[in-house]
Structure 1
């Protein structure tokens, strides 16, 4: 049974889909992926970092990757067949997703967007996503999350 004392559009989406989750409370709003991971008691690699990218023609997509990785916009561009992809500004993130930067998640978006997930995230049975609230994350089964969002899987991380 899901904990009901955090109500966001993300928890509502998971509740409707009957996907169990655990709330991972923060002591304060996180200032980075590393800070959020420490507050949640998890490794950054199990955190789903969700980035909004856009091409010059207005094609947008969400890139989901492990929290300890960086997105390679060229790889996202190749997946989508676009000319050039860049990360959008913080203001545009809020306008398009309804979330503030750092709380973006591939769930409960006001408009449908293509979602591309790096397959490294499939290596973990449990991942964490933003709850949509800066004071909490959510831990859930990765397979259940991916079944719900129906992403395209592609290697989109920068080579290290």
Structure 2
């Protein structure tokens, strides 16, 4: 019997030893609604994006709400000339999570993690494998537990 994505994600958070608070809420249609439901500022809501580096080579990028990947800086950090975002089906295949629920915790493969420098140093919320479910954690502990490379890899959206 396979476990649900939510069960897998929360079990992985628990196994990591990371102190966390599970937050559940109904459907949200925007970053602002997600932040309000989680009682955090929008920039404390962390998006986990899957980036393709090469053939069967992916990584997770943790991006604060209201920000977007700064592709030139991320390529420079990784020492590559090309990166891309996989389609939703590929992202699901390589993580076990559908887009909008992706988290490094409990992913079907343990891809490397790059965290934007703004993740550390404050409480943040990260997805937990199912729409409307997240965990609030200390951002500094999050990057430590995930073994993330921390760098300035985002720009403000717009």
Bin for the TM-score computed over the shorter chain: 0.7 to 0.9
Higher share in strand: 2
If the length of structure 1 is used for normalisation, what is the TM-score? 0.85
Which structure 2 residues correspond to residues 73-152 of structure 1 after superposition, within 5 A? 73-124=71-122, 126-152=123-149
CA deviation string 1:42-75 (max 9, x = no partner): 1111111111111355532111121121112222
Tell me the distance in 1 between the aligned counterparts of 2:72 and 2:85: 11
Gaps in structure 2 of 5+ consecutive residues: 1-5
Kept after mapping to 2: 8 A contact 1:74/1:85: no
Which structure 2 residues correspond to residues 45-84 of structure 1 after superposition, within 5 A? 45-55=43-53, 57-84=55-82
CA deviation string 1:82-104 (max 9, x = no partner): 11112221111111111111111
Local SS of the residue matching 1:70: strand
Tell me the distance in 2 between the aligned counterparts of 1:139 and 1:74: 30
If the length of structure 2 is used for normalisation, what is the TM-score? 0.86
C-alpha RMSD of the superposition: 1.8
Give the aligned length.
Answer: 152
Gaps in structure 1 of 5+ consecutive residues: 1-6
Kept after mapping to 2: 8 A contact 1:54/1:60: yes
* Ranges of 4+ aligned residues in structure 1 off by more than 3 Å: 55-59
Tell me the distance in 2 between the aligned counterparts of 1:84 and 1:17: 32
Tell me the distance in 1 between the aligned counterparts of 2:15 and 2:59: 24
